[in-house]
Structures are given as C-alpha cells and as structure tokens.
Chains A and B, each alone.
Chain A
C-alpha cells in the first residue's frame, strides 16, 4: 500500500467536514465539523512527514492540536454565552444579532 492513501482519506475527511460546516445548523455540530477538518489536516501533516522522512510535519501537527484546543475552549464559551441569552444553539438564530 502506498502511504499516499492516507492523504486521500485526509482529503475526504476534510471535504466531509466542510460540507458539515455549511449544511448543519446546530452551532455545536458545526464546531465538531471544524474539528474534523483540523484532524484531517493533522493526518495529512503526519503522512507528509513520513513520506519526506523528517519530523517537521509532526511538529506542525502538534502545534495544530494545541491551537485546536484553544479554539475549542473559546468557541464553546461563545456558544454557551449565546445560548444563555437566546436559549438556542442554532447558527441561523445568531444572525439576529445584527438587528
């Protein structure tokens, strides 16, 4: 098996995550799809590190994980704040902010 197959899985997962971000309405599910996209990128980084034979890709994947952890913390705090004032976690309702 060619290690590039991992890259194809990564591309598929990234695409599915992108569809989810556009299609789903629940803010938490949208957020989980963003996490899926980040994970797909990590898989690509790890695979490229292996194909090229150096560890820089793994270091970048490690940084991505740290940034994703930060993003989850802040993003979920925002969702909870919006939910507290609107009683809804739908991304459609949040557009009411501009009115």
Chain B
C-alpha cells in the first residue's frame, strides 16, 4: 500500500474539508450568486487537487474551462435572468427535504463502501512512469491514437451544442412590440391617470437624495413607484419616513 508525501497530505486535509464545507454551504445559501461563487471556489480546489495528482494539464484546463468559461457563463446568465430571482427556501413538495437527505445518505454510504472495497489492499502505482515524457505529451499520444474516434465525436458534439445554443437563444417575440402610440394610449386610457405624467424620480423630495430612497409625494407619503423594481427585489431599498408637516410647524412656533 503506497502512501503519498507529507506536503500532499497537508494540502489534502486543508483543502478537502474546505471543498466539502463549501459544497454544503452552496446548498444552504439563499442567493444564486453566492452559490456560484462557492462553486467557483470548489472548482479551484479541484484544480489544485488535479495538479497535486500529476495531472497538470487537467488542472490548467479546469481553471480555464470551469472557473473561467463555465462559471463566467453562469454569472452572466444570473445577471440576465435577474439577481432578484432568489428563491424561497421553503419546500414546495411536503417532506421532500428529509426524504432527499435520507436517500443521499444511503447513496453516499453505498459509494463510500464501494470505493473502500475497490481500493483496499490495492497497491498504488503513481504516474511517474506514465508521465515520464511529460503529462501533456503523454495525454496527446493517447488522445490522438486510442481515443481519436471519441475525440472526433466530441468535436461534432461541440459544434452541435454551439448551433443549438444559437437556435435556442434566437429571440422570437412572443407578443408584438408595443408602439409609441400603444404606450401613449395605455398611459391615458388606463385605469388610473397617476402615471400619465411619468413616474416620480427616486430620492426627489425625500429625506435623502439617492436612487434607493422612495420619493415623497406632495402629501408627504413615500411613493414605492419611484424606485426600480430590481432594487426592490434585492431588498436594497431604504425606507423614507412619511414627512410630518405638523412637526415643522411646531418647531417654528
């Protein structure tokens, strides 16, 4: 039974628990952006693991493809779909969460025991011989001889995926774009004339001059229509107190 060097053990025992903890936190956090950041951290940890295990090429590819391209795409889509889409963590199907956790514990136990069976008593060979001519060269040798057919199929898959994404992302308008005339009609023939002159700007006549403070209407009440829906959904809005006219009058006396 072979054992690795001490520095690698230190690396493993520092980064391994951190990766598992980040994965658990990824399940718990409410905002999708935080999940994405934690996942990026897990992927960097895995890249370090790859490099520690004599897979230098895969480690670099992991950083470039996963933390670079894939997580960037995830964050991009998160921004597009709206940061406000933070889900409620209440369970919609009753009893789903305990069932999921129990099933996962069983599944994890099965995996761990299988791994134990498969690896106990096995001598560990190491990649010193296989990587003798360089990791990248050895991988390229395999990729372009034994796995060349799989390589070609994967290239076809990549092209298909690119085409598929273009077809899916092509913007079909589901409803006709409203013209200026339609907008004007809707503004004046609508149920209320309150928005006929346009919505009030944020922070105007409020106690602070900022975009996250609702404006005060002439009667002193704060107008929720004056702040952006995105800010409202993110919960970044400061409440402005209703303005007390009588308080000022009392002070003057």
Q: Which residues of A contact B74 (CB under 8 A)?
A: 28, 31-32, 72, 76
What is the size, in residues, of chain A's interface with B at 8 Å between Cβ atoms?
72
Interface residues on B, range: 35 or more
Q: Which residues of A contact B164 (CB under 8 A)?
A: 73-74, 77
Q: Which residues of B contact A94 (CB under 8 A)?
A: none
Interface pair B53/A46, CB less than 8 Å apart = yes
A65 to B139, CA, bound (A): 15
Digitize B87-106: 1 where CB-to-A-CB distance is under 8 Å, 0 elsewhere.
11001100011001101110
Interface pair B35/A32, CB less than 8 Å apart = yes
Interface pair B55/A1, CB less than 8 Å apart = no
Interface pair A43/B174, CB less than 8 Å apart = no
Interface pair A25/B87, CB less than 8 Å apart = yes
Nearest Cβ distance between residue A11 and chain B, in whole angstroms? 4
Interface pair B87/A24, CB less than 8 Å apart = yes
Interface pair A58/B27, CB less than 8 Å apart = no
Interface pair B77/A79, CB less than 8 Å apart = yes
B: residues with CB less than 8 A from A are 1-4, 8-9, 12-13, 16, 19-20, 23-24, 26-27, 32, 35-36, 39, 42-43, 46, 49-50, 53-55, 57-58, 61-62, 65-66, 69-70, 73-74, 77-78, 80-82, 85-88, 91-92, 96-97, 100-101, 103-105, 107-108, 111-112, 115-116, 119, 122, 124-127, 129-131, 135, 138-139, 142-143, 146-147, 150, 154, 157-158, 160-162, 164-165, 168-169, 171, 174
Ordered by A's residue number, 16 sampled pairs between the chains whose C-beta atoms are within 8 Å are: A1-B9, A2-B4, A3-B4, A9-B49, A15-B111, A16-B24, A20-B26, A22-B100, A22-B103, A35-B70, A51-B119, A55-B127, A58-B55, A58-B58, A76-B77, A80-B168
For the complex of A and B, the 5 pairs showing the least CB-CB separation, nearest first, are A53-B125, A70-B161, A1-B9, A15-B108, A77-B168
